[in-house]
Amino acid sequence: MKVSVDISLYPNQEDFIPPIQDFIDRLNTYNDVEVQTFPTATVVMGDFDRVMDILKVEMKAHREKHGMGVFVTKFLPAYEAL
């Protein structure tokens, strides 16, 4: 099953652009999912299990590297947003 996930990241720090850009850059290293960035959110689309595995890894990596951050997400199962 395909899934589209709309993600907005709100780092808990004054200089918030570098952690957001780092997260987006890391998502773009995966060639088996589609990633598109918009001014207020990034959409990740692909196989449900693969997208969930990637988000698990990258959200944990963000926490370990940048500390606290709030991820606001919308999951659209069986929907291809891109």
**7-33 pLDDT, tens per residue?**
999 999 999 999 999 999 999 999 999
Query: Residue 76: which pLDDT band, with cuts at 50, 70 and 90?
Result: very high
Amino acid at residue number 2:
K
Looking up residue 63, the CATH number of its domain turns out to be 3.30.70.930
Query: Considering all CA atoms of the chain, what is the largest pairwise distance in Å, rounded to the nearest integer?
Result: 38
* Domain span at 6: 2-68
* This prediction's pTM: 0.92
What is the sign, positive or negative, of the torsion defined by CA atoms of 68, 36, 76, 53?
Answer: negative
pLDDT of 80 higher than 90 = no
Is 78 domain-assigned?
A: no
In the block, which residue shows the tokens 């004054």?
14
Count the domains in the chain: 1
Is 58 domain-assigned?
A: yes
pLDDT of 82 higher than 80 = no
